[in-house]
Structure 1
Amino acid sequence: MFLHTCHRIEWYTEKADAYSPIAELNGASEIFGRINVTARLGQIAAGVKSLIVGDHLVFQQVLESGHRVAENSAIGSVFSTAIALASEARHRFDIAPIVDYSDILGVLRVANNETSGPVKRLIIIGGGMLAQSIAVASGSSYGEVVIVTRNPTRLRRSLIARANGRPQPFVTTARNAAEAYTDLPFDLVIATTSANETYLNNLSAIANSANVGRALDYSATPFLPVATPNYLHISSDGIMQWVSELNRPVQVRAAYAAAWIAEQLAHSNRKWVIS
């Protein structure tokens, strides 16, 4: 099973000597044994190992990864148990962040008195769960929200499915965004993974536009090689320390949840399944 979350790539396999299809993972640290692997996956899904403890996206990301695995396989069994434990742990210990990934931009704007003045455009680079979540959370704060992705058609379908009557962001390609949507002041969110050179060039044109206001980068590796005054990476300038402080009560509960998941696997004969 291939697991790709906002800041994590892992490969789960039944064969101890198997090579990962992701070259970067070959030679990485490994965990062996059904109990250890199930505990880890359950803790990841519960959000207790996330950069922002308890984040709302990771459970769904694990769930989607596991749905591509055969239920009657060993990995399918690990997945089912881990998801059931994670779901129970999140509920039992109230694992939900006070400030989540999608909240950071709004909190920064309030903290820096950026909510007054002309209503800006927000450009979000990326089409995954994180980008979509930020678009939904920011819809009421900006006059226009534009999402840049490599597959606009697929993203439009996804956004329609989760709209619930909310206004839809405009979805376009990087080339079109660079040419048509950087003419006015805008804030920028970068929430994308690796891309080909042409795509990266178009994204760079957006990120380096003279009209960029605040730029917030959620990518695992900073997108801009040289920081600018308005550019903040998720790990820079004390952002995560600040978010962690706001989420401190959740971190305490998360530590208990992580221990509880491990304990259920080590000392219980209960058959954990998805309910």
Structure 2
Amino acid sequence: MSPNALIPSHRKPRRPSASSRALRAGVTGGFLTLAVTGATVPANAAEKPVSETQEMPTITTALATSATKSADTAEQVAFNYERQALQDSAFSKAAKAAEKDKAEAVKKAKAEAKKKAEEARKAKEAAQARASRSSERSTLSAPSSSSATGSTATLVSFLKAQLGKAYVLGATGSSAYDCSGLTQAAFKQVGIDLPRVSQDQSTAGKQVGLDNLQVGDVLYWGSAGSAYHVGVYVGGGKFIGAQNSSTGIVERPLDYDMPTGAVRVL
């Protein structure tokens, strides 16, 4: 046998390598289908063209669910951000409004305080003006304390000089007097012209209480306007008057014959 003689091979023909196969893929009924088909098949191959198909569970549903959850999460996050932004905006507006209201309240309070202070100042000035006018009127209408003291001293001195003289009804001096004649003559010494009779002298001045007598007040007995007797208060709880024809002009304590009232002409 020739060394070059052909010896039939008992090896099976080799299938095409993986690199020579074509890959087909598809999705069917929710499964991923992979098909691998040989590129060439020998004519005498006993086997039919090989079609290798593998089905794998698809991940489409999982991906869709995940995507849906991601979308929901993103939407919720966006909603939360929007809500927070609205809350922050509302809070900022409320804070600005509160600050504005506070500023207005402070401004109003200051205006009210200023108005009250101005009213108080005007009231004080008006009171001071009234007090000043009253003081001026008092100064103009009333004699000075020194002149009043001088007048009462002159008045009392004249009355004391008449003590012991006679009481004569209708007499006006200088050796005898009746009660109203004596008071008229005494006040004439200090420039005051009293009416002639007791009734008129009892209303000639300002009515004063017997608990508030001053030297020089005219005392009267009877009622004001119809008094029947007068005298002059000389201090120390005493008065001088032309009492009657028995006693003449005397100085007596008030409780000797308590008068009814008094008028102030000095």
Q: TM-score per shorter chain, which class?
A: under 0.3
* TM-score of the superposed pair, with normalisation by structure 2: 0.19
- Structure number with greater CO (CA < 8 Å, separation at least 6) is 1
Higher strand share: 2
* TM-score of the superposed pair, with normalisation by structure 1: 0.18
